[in-house]
Amino acid sequence: GESVGLHLPTLSVQEGDNSIINCAYSNSASDYFIWYKQESGKGPQFIIDIRSNMDKRQGQRVTVLLNKTVKHLSLQIAATQPGDSAVYFCAETSNSGNTPLVFGKGTRLSVIA
Amino acid sequence: DGGITQSPKYLFRKEGQNVTLSCEQNLNHDAMYWYRQDPGQGLRLIYYSQIVNDFQKGDIAEGYSVSREKKESFPLTVTSAQKNPTAFYLCASGFRSLNIQYFGAGTRLSVL
């Protein structure tokens, strides 16, 4: 989930369990959303995206769900592995291509082996 | 080897000094972006450029300057007016018609 302040919300999961990371986006006009994964000391990596005409999109071991009614986005990671430990950011924008992404504050995922 | 290259990886700034962070991409992307990331925080947009010789301020442009003389390059100067420059700086690029941004490995700037 999202929070204000210096400390990222943290989600701890057991290896092999499923993870669900939540994001509340702010702009009701946003119609394109991306999830990024950032490992310590590295730049964010693209994971998966979704447009507002969809409510679900699946990738390899990941699923993104979009609920436009409550402006909520979630990232589900199946069979979480130690390599999934990272900070996960959601980002929103309009689909015009001319509006920069707005990033959420991130959630730290810690996988317990 | 294609991608987005940021240099240096670590940079130290003395009081009153301007420093320049390099960002180069060979992906033929139109748009380039600079973000600042503080510990435990999200990414905040400093400047972005969608075409050569044009750029726009982001949310926290004060104390920074950029140029976009070539499509491949978007250097960021942290000026002496930026009183709290210690942060992790990330450069990104993408096609203007799409919204996906791809990131470099970052430059960590510290003040001596």
pLDDT computed for residue A7 by the predictor: 66
Question: pLDDT by residue (tens digit) across B87-108?
Answer: 999 999 998 877 889 999 999 9
Please tell me the distance in Å from A41's CA to the nearest CA on chain B. 8
Residues 6+ apart with CB under 8 A from A59: A47, A48
Provide CB contacts within 8 A for B105, sequence distance 6+.
A42, A43, B6, B9
Within 8 A of A97 by CB-CB distance, chain B residues are 95-99
Give the mean model confidence (pLDDT) for residues B25-37: 96
CA distance B82 to B18: 9
User: In 3D, which of A46, A40, A52, A48 has the Cα closest to residue A96?
Assistant: A52
Higher pLDDT, residue A4 or A33: A33
Contacts of A95 in chain B (CB under 8 A): 99
Q: Which residues of chain B does A99 touch, with a Cβ-Cβ cutoff of 8 Å?
A: 99
Comparing CA positions, the residue from A103, A90, A68 lying closest to residue A20 is A90
Q: Categorize the per-residue pLDDT at A4 as very low, low, confident or very high, splitting at 50, 70 and 90.
A: very low
Average confidence (pLDDT) over B68-94:
96
Q: Does B40 touch chain A (CB under 8 A)?
A: yes
Q: Above pLDDT 70, what percent of chain B?
A: 98
Q: What is the pLDDT of residue B112?
A: 83
Mean pLDDT of the region A30-52: 94
Q: How confident is the model at residue A94, as a pLDDT?
A: 83
pLDDT average, residue stretch B38-66: 94
DSSP letter at B67?
-
Distances (CA, A) of A90 to A46, A105, B110: 10, 8, 27
Residue type, B45: L
Q: Give the torsion sign (CA, B91, B93, B99, B102).
A: negative
With a cut of 50, say whether residue A3 has pLDDT above it: no
Q: Which 3 state secondary structure label does DSSP give A90? A: strand
Q: Is the peptide bond before B39 cis (omega within 30 degrees of 0)?
A: no
* pLDDT of A100 higher than 90: no
How many residues are given for chain A? 113
- Half-sphere exposure of residue B26: CA atoms within 13 angstroms, side-chain side: 4
Residues of B in contact with A37 (CB under 8 A): none
> CB pairs below 8 Å between A and B: how many?
57
Question: Is the pLDDT confidence value at A1 over 50?
Answer: no
Of B84, B76, B68, the C-alpha closest to B29 is B68
pLDDT at residue number A96: 65
Task: Assess whether pLDDT exceeds 70 at residue B75.
Answer: yes
Which of the four pLDDT bands, split at 50, 70 and 90, describes residue B40? confident
Average pLDDT on B45-65 reads 96
How far is C-alpha B6 from the geometric centre of its chain's CA atoms?
A: 9
Closest residue in chain B to residue A43, using alpha carbons only = B105
Give the minimum alpha-carbon distance from A58 to chain B in angstroms, rounded to a whole number.
17
pLDDT at A52 over 80: yes
Put simply, whether B54 touches A (Cβ < 8 Å) is no
Looking at residues B42-60, what average pLDDT do you find?
95
Q: How confident is the model at residue A99 (pLDDT cuts 50, 70, 90)?
A: confident
List, for residues A57-92, the tens digit of each pLDDT value: 999 999 999 999 999 999 999 999 999 999 999 999
Picking from A42, A49, A92 by the largest number of B CB atoms within 10 A of its own CB, the best residue to mutate is A42
